[in-house]
Structures are given as C-alpha cells and as structure tokens.
A = this chain, B = another copy of it.
Amino acid sequence: MLFLLLTLLASQGTPRAPREVEARFLRLPDPASCERYLQVLTEDPRLAGTPTDRRSAEYTRSRWLEAGLEADFATYEVYLPYPKSIEVKLLAPEEFKAKNVEEGWGWDKDSYAPDAVLPYNAYSPSGDVTAEVVYANYGLPEDFARLKGMGVDPAGKIAVARYGRSYRGIKARAAREAGAIGLILYSDPADDGYGKGDPYPRGPWRAATSLQRGSILDLAKGPGDPLSPGWPAIKGARRIEPAQADALPKIPTTPISHADAAPLLKNLSGPTVPEGWQGALPFAYHLGPGPARVNLKIEMDFADRPIWNTIGKILGASRPDEWVILGAHRDAWVHGAVDDGSGCAVLLEIGRCLGELLKEGWRPARTILLASWDGEEFGLLGSTEWVEERLEEVGAKAVAYVNADSAVSGRDFAASGSPSLADFAREIAKAVEDPRSRRPIHEVWAERTRVAAKEEETYRRGEEPDRGASGTEPPVGTLGSGSDYTAFLDHAGVACVDFAFTGPYGPYHSTHDSFYWMKNFGDPTFEYHAAMARVMGLAALRLADADLLPIDHAGVARAVPRYLEDIAAKAAQAAERRGEKPPELEAPLRPLREAAAALAKAAGEASTRGSQAAEKGPATVLAEVNAALLRAEREYLDRAGVPGRTWFRSLLQAPGIDAGYAPATLPGIREAAVSGEIDRVSVEAARLVARLDAAAAVLAGKPLAAGKGGRGSSPEAGRR
C-alpha cells in the first residue's frame, strides 16, 4: 500500500526511470478486464465490411479515447466477396447434399450464430461445375503430382482435399494448375478433429459439423486488396480489372465439414491411397476418380466495400517521428474469439494500461501506435493498404512492428520475428511471468521447446528458427506470411516480431471459435490474455523508451549461414528427386558468407559504440547509432524484389511460393538452388551481398553512395 502510494506520488512528479515504468506497467494488466473486452468483441460476428465490424471498430476507438489515447479510423474500399449461395451435392452413386451448417448448443449462443456468414472460401469465383471426384490429400502441388503419377488425372475433375500443411490459397492454385475444375476443402478429423482429441464442446478440437472458412487469395503473389496491387485502396483510387488480378483464384472452391465430406470420400473407388494420405474417417480412402460425382454451385457477391482500421496513438515526448507499432486484426470470419478476438482484447488492455501510465504522468520517448486491423482474413487487407498508403513514412519512421494473431489459444508461448529482434523477443520473455507456474515465460518456453517443435509450428513458422548465439535458446521462428506483419516486413523493411500463447485448438475459422470455447478451453481464467498484454506492452515500452534500440543486426549475420544450410539440404533433396548430384553451392555462396561475417563485425562494433554512448554519451553518437540500426534494416530491401514477385522486396525472406504461410528464407537464392540453376544462385547471392554490404556500411557509419540501395522507392514501384 505504502509502495503504491509512493508510486502514485512519484508519478505526479519527475519522470520515472524506464525500469520503474516497466515494473509499474507489468502490474496493470487485469484478466477480468481482458475477459470483458473479449466478451464485448465476440458479441456479434466481425466479418470485414459489415455493420457489426464497423461497430467493433467504433468500440475500439472509444476504449482508446477513454484511456486517453488519440484514436481514429483508417478506412479503405477493398474488393470483398460475400457468399449468396453455395451448394455441394453428391449426385452419384447416391444422393446427398452437404448441410453446411455448424452444430449449435443452447448454452453457447455463438455456436448457433444465425448471423454467421455462410461457410465459404473468400475470392472463390462463382461457378456451377459437375464432375467426378478425386481425392488429393492436402492439395499441395506435390500431392497433385503424385496423383498423376499414380495414374489418376485430376484434369476435368472436382478435387476434394483436406486442410492443413499449407495455406489454402496454395491448394486452390495447385488444383487449378493440375486441371481440376473445382475444389472442395474439408477438415479431416486426423488433422484437427477427433484424431487429435475430444471435439468441441467436449474438448478443444474441431467438431464433426465444424468447418474452416477462409480466403484463397494467392498471398504469395502479394497481399492486400487484389484490385489495387501495390497502391492504397482509397476510395476513388485506380483499380485494375478482376481478370487482370493475378492473386484471384480461378476455380470454384468451397470448404465443408468432415460430416459432409464423408459421403463424398466414402463413394470413391480407384486405387487405395498411398502411405500418409489416409485420414481419420472410418473407412479406407481411395483416390477416385468417381464413382462419386458432385455438383458444386457457388454464387458470390463481389463488391468494393469499406473496411476500418482503428489506429490508436500516444505521441512520443522526445522522438515523435519514431513509431513503435503494435497490431492485431479485429475482423473475423464469425465471432473469432481466438482469431483474433484475443489479440484485440489484448490491444484494448494495453491501451487501458498505457492510459493509466499516461494519467500518472508518463509519456513514451517515441510514438506508440496501436493498430486494430480490418480485412486481415480476406488477405491482410487493412494492414497492407495502410502501409502502402504511407510507405515512405513507414520507411522513415517505423522502429518495429509487434504483431499478435490468434494471440491466445492456450498456454504455450511462441515467438517469431526478424532475426534482428530474436534476442529482444527472448529478453521480453525473461521479464514476464508465466501465469500458471509463476516462473519467467522464458524458462517454461525453454523447457518445452527442448522437445521437438510441433508440426503446426514448423509449417507456420519455418524450419530455421533463431536459437540465439549459443544455439540452445528457445526458438524464435522465421516470419512467413498469413498475418499483418507481412507488409511491414516484406514490403517496407521494418523489423517485426509476433507473439502467441498456443494450445490445442480445433475450431479455427468456425462458429465454434467462440467466447465459450475460450472460457472453457483456451484461457478460462484470462490470465494468459493478461500475460500477453504484458508481453506486447513491455515490448512497446522497451522499444519506445530505449536509449539504444534493441535491434541487433548480428542476428541477421547469424541467420544467413543458417538459412544457407537449409537451402543446401533442400537443394540436395530436390536434385536427388531429379536424379542429379547435389549442386555445388560452396563457391557461389562464399562471397555471401563473407558478407555475413562482415555484417556481424559491423553489427558488433555498432552495438559496442551504441552501448558506450548510451552510458557515457555523447548523445549525438547514440542518435547516429540508433538511426543506423533502423536504416540498416531497410537495406535488406531491394527495389527489384524477389524474382517474379516484386512486391516482396526483402531479400531475407518472403512467403514460400508453394508453402503458403511458411517462409522461404533468402527466396531468390533458395529458388535458384532448389531448381539447380547455379548461375542464378550466383546472381541472387550477389544481390544479397550488395544489401548486406550496404547494411554493414550503414552500421559502420559510412556514407552510402547516392542512388544505391532499395530505400525510398515509390509506392507503385513494387508491382505491375
């Protein structure tokens, strides 16, 4: 009590030291408050562009204003499809119509969801196709290739593929490229249903009637509004024709539940499936084609519709033009308690707690932005348009972007990030307590990850996590795509980090991702919501108030050889599949290894110079080092971008072209090496060497040659 009083007294007077502010902040997040926020946010569906979505944007703004932040909307008009009608009918050998309704229970009002949008895959074209069915496993490019290899041609057929292992947009593209005329995606109980554990409502896994809505926009071609690729979708701005939009899928595609999928799959004949293709439905799977014959009829309503990001702001006291940005997406397929109601509740809680600090007289040195993104589910629309609208400003001002998507679905901490923020992410985890064990999150995380990472994490977070300089730290994954950091990371060259508490979670993108689910399975006490508010809030405080910015380019220097090792392995595998010897990569990549070593040296020296200046001054040196740390991050961009996908301008990583959410690190080099084009490996390596050299030069305080480098390209430069 005395301590609190002293704290309050102190807050009225002189500014508190950063550590004191941190300690105060960590005491503020409140589980009951998080629960209230989530309950309000999940009261109605938040489908992007709908009145209830708009209402949640207003609610968010009101809470932030109430807390003493500035807050406003950033509105865009984006190309959004809503479903008018969807029918999946089995015509032969027996008749069956997919019910496409998720089971509801009286005590979970959200599960009834009469106002839930029809289950659909956003951006599927309208269409009416009838054909025999083939089963295509996960619908990956290699699955379709295998299918053909087994003598089952998907051409002219409707493919039924299960969710998992990749982003669904990749499946839609692969199905089309294999010649399928329609695609039905279903959730196999082996992947997120009873094969994993008890289905909802007995347990946290997917129920028989539950299904996964979701966009099939081809994110690997570039996220954001598909009709304004590379520029902001402001009302009245130029739009391309849908027919020109590369990212739009071309064949009718829709999701169904496993209850609806079973009759289709049970009626397949042809060869039995190969090893690894059998799911958990209670019969032996076959490949087809037929005799199951299906009519898939989809009517969509495409239109430009408004979406509303809500942006809260605390202006920095001494460095207002440096932005620390925290974000989560507010839109959801239905009520989205986990995805991403949890992240939004956390942002609201952070706003409330920072508001408390403001009332106690604190102000951050740098500006803090809280972003409640809209239209994420359709293709990262809100965040991408926002970055595209102010690309130069973001390039000039952004210190870092901190993301939380499906922020809380359990108790297992996970982090992914730019290599330059990996150590920072671990430092945050040391400073925040795990609610259940009352030990630092970092300790619990390290123990758990000594065991192999879960498959899901591997596919979302990549196979080359940062394990610290020692190689034994808990893993900070590589960022791929599938959430709102993408435009910051890959288009604007901003260091990003993404946090989550994960756990067994089946009802992704269904009506069962509800407040009741969270209350019973994900985070019954809401203590992990409060912990996530501490994690993200502390990250914001440290970034905003740091004397020396915690961006460490030694992490990038460490990442490059790690990525190259993985590339060599993948290239060798690919060569073996082609019946060739592993490509000789040592020589073409030597300059890159040398550049990484030089970058490590420059990063170390900058770090030492910065630490000394932070301690003893002079302030000018500190400011120079901080500026260099930010500018160096932009140097990893190249105006020409990743080959064939110029919107993605970072040479360090991009979404894998066939991997969906999973990252491809050093994508230019990787793709050349995997396809065995050694000359192209050298070319791509040389491009990256130039960027690493530039970053090292910036860190060493050397002036950059004019016109060199990837900074400051105009917003339109990225795409056609």
Contact = CB atoms under 8 A, between A and B. Distances in A.
Nearest to A273: B197
Given A203-B272, A272-B203, A194 B280 contact: no
A198 interface: yes
A282 interface: yes
A194 B278 CA distance: 9
A197 B272 CA distance: 7
A297 interface: no
Contacts of A361: none
Contacts of A280: 280, 282
A3 interface: no
Contacts of A286: 198
A278 B280 CA distance: 10
A189 interface: yes
Contacts of A282: 189, 194, 280-282
A687 interface: no
A199 interface: yes
A283 interface: yes
A191 to B, nearest CB: 13
A195 interface: yes
Contacts of A194: 282-284
Residue with the highest number of chain B CB atoms closer than 10 Å, among A197, A199, A280:
A280
A123 B714 CA distance: 84
Contacts of A199: 284
A282 to B, nearest CB: 4
A282 B188 CA distance: 11
Interface string A3-44: 000000000000000000000000000000000000000000
Interface string A180-211: 00000000010000111111001101000000
A340 to B, nearest CB: 27
Contacts of A189: 282
Q: How many copies of the shown chain assemble into the complex?
A: 2
Contacts of A278: 195-196
Nearest to A272: B197
Interface string A624-643: 00000000000000000000
Interface in A567-608: none
A189 to B, nearest CB: 7
A202 B195 CA distance: 25
A83 B283 CA distance: 32
A282 B199 CA distance: 11
A205 B205 CA distance: 29
Contact of A284 (B198, B272, B283, B284): B198
Nearest to A286: B198
Nearest to A189: B282
By secondary structure, the A interface counts as loop
A205 B281 contact: no
Interface in A215-255: none
Residue with the highest number of chain B CB atoms closer than 10 Å, among A194, A198, A284:
A284
Nearest to A258: B282
A465 B132 CA distance: 47
Interface string A279-319: 01111101000000000000000000000000000000000
Residue with the highest number of chain B CB atoms closer than 10 Å, among A198, A281, A283, A286:
A283
A275 to B, nearest CB: 10
A202 B270 CA distance: 12
Contacts of A272: 197-198, 203
Contacts of A196: 278, 284
A280 to B, nearest CB: 7
A195 B281 CA distance: 9
A273 to B, nearest CB: 9
Contacts of A197: 272, 284
A480 to B, nearest CB: 26
Interface string A616-628: 0000000000000
Residue with the highest number of chain B CB atoms closer than 10 Å, among A189, A272, A286:
A272
A197 B203 CA distance: 29
A205 B284 CA distance: 10
A14 B217 CA distance: 84
A278 B199 CA distance: 14
Nearest to A504: B272
Contacts of A284: 194-199, 202-203, 205
A199 B205 CA distance: 28
A542 to B, nearest CB: 38
A111 to B, nearest CB: 19
A199 B283 CA distance: 8
Nearest to A278: B195
A199 B282 CA distance: 11
A623 to B, nearest CB: 53
Nearest to A208: B282
A376 to B, nearest CB: 31
A471 to B, nearest CB: 22
Nearest to A196: B284
Contacts of A203: 272, 284
A195 B272 CA distance: 11
A474 to B, nearest CB: 21
Contacts of A195: 278, 284
Contacts of A205: 284
Interface in A254-269: none
A103 B504 CA distance: 39
A280 B285 CA distance: 13
Residue with the highest number of chain B CB atoms closer than 10 Å, among A189, A196, A272, A282:
A282
17 contacts: A189-B282, A194-B282, A195-B278, A195-B284, A196-B284, A197-B272, A197-B284, A198-B272, A198-B284, A198-B286, A199-B284, A202-B284, A205-B284, A280-B280, A280-B282, A281-B282, A282-B282
**Which 5 residue pairs across A and B have the least CB separation, nearest first?**
A282-B282, A198-B284, A194-B284, A197-B272, A197-B284
Interface of A: 189, 194-199, 202-203, 205, 272, 278, 280-284, 286
Given A199-B284, A203-B284, A205-B284, 19 more contacts: A189-B282, A194-B282, A194-B283, A194-B284, A195-B278, A195-B284, A196-B278, A196-B284, A197-B272, A197-B284, A198-B272, A198-B284, A198-B286, A202-B284, A203-B272, A280-B280, A280-B282, A281-B282, A282-B282
